[in-house]
Amino acid sequence: MIKLVIFDCYGIVLNEGYPRTSQALASKYGGRWQDYQNIMYGKYFNMAATRKISQKEAWIKAVADCKLTLNWQELRDLHYSLMKLDPKAAQLNSWLNEKGITTLLLSKNTRSQFVDVSKIFGLRKIFKNIINTWELGLPKASTKTMNLILKRFNVKPSEVIYGDDQRDNLVDANKLGMKTIFAQSLAEFKKGLKKYL
């Protein structure tokens, strides 16, 4: 019996933030969007999300490294403006809750960006349970994080479904025995849920 469903924030509930920003930069400045993605997300955002540098430093370093003519605030604002909330996320969350299934929104983000994005999209009004792994000082894709979730929600791995748009984030959850769904949209996640519910 499924007792907990974990939604990834960026990629399932919200559209992919960094790929869209990277594509917009490639369109404006030329080059491959993957190169912008590797610099912004791969190099600097991951450092900020694991508290090695601040979110502001990540934006500043990305602007410099990508040789952009906009400032860090303009890059941040562009990034936020390209994000979209899937309107069906709230419906799916409510439907699961009505069936007696607890839901969790899980994110790997810096405190400042997650606060901003939560306000912009009203995430705390949609999801009762939210964990941003930055607050835990743990990586999102880790056995420690998954065990903390199991303990906090008093569930067994076999009672959990976890959906994410990055396969690497699902590896430890899968090893623990959680049901995992690789999905790059809410629609794909819903299809995957049907197998388990």
Closest Cα partner for 49 from 124, 121, 115, 139? Answer: 139
Residue 141 pLDDT > 90: no
Mean per-residue pLDDT, 128-152: 95
Residue 11 pLDDT > 90: no
DSSP letter at 10 equals B
Mean per-residue pLDDT, 11-24: 91
**Residues 68, 98: one domain?**
no
**Residues 175, 164: one domain?**
yes
CA dist list (Å): 115 to 11, 38, 112, 132:
17, 24, 5, 10
- pLDDT grade for 16, boundaries at 50, 70 and 90: confident
pLDDT given for residue 148 in this prediction: 98
106-138 burial: b if 16+ Cβ within 10 Å, else e: bbbbbeebbebbbeebebeebbeebbbbbeeeb
What is the distance between the alpha carbons of residues 142 and 154, in angstroms, rounded to a whole number?
Answer: 18
**Residues 76, 171: one domain?**
no
**Residues 113, 64: one domain?**
no
**Residues 108, 42: one domain?**
no
Tell me the average pLDDT of the chain: 96
**Residues 172, 95: one domain?**
yes
pLDDT given for residue 15 in this prediction: 85
**Residues 77, 88: one domain?**
no
**Residues 55, 144: one domain?**
no
Residue with tokens 């491959």: 32
Residue 113 pLDDT > 80: yes
**Residues 113, 34: one domain?**
no
pLDDT given for residue 147 in this prediction: 98
Q: pTM for this one?
A: 0.91
pLDDT given for residue 59 in this prediction: 98
Instruction: Tell me the H-state helices in 137-185.
Output: 143-152, 171-176
- pLDDT grade for 9, boundaries at 50, 70 and 90: very high
Q: How does pLDDT run across 49-108, given as a tens digit for each residue?
A: 889 999 999 999 999 999 999 999 999 999 999 999 999 999 999 999 999 999 999 999
Q: Give the number of domains in the chain.
A: 2
CA dist list (Å): 35 to 22, 138, 175:
8, 27, 32
- pLDDT grade for 36, boundaries at 50, 70 and 90: very high
Mean per-residue pLDDT, 26-53: 95
pLDDT given for residue 177 in this prediction: 98
Element (H, E) at 132: strand 130-132
pLDDT given for residue 57 in this prediction: 97
**Residues 101, 114: one domain?**
yes
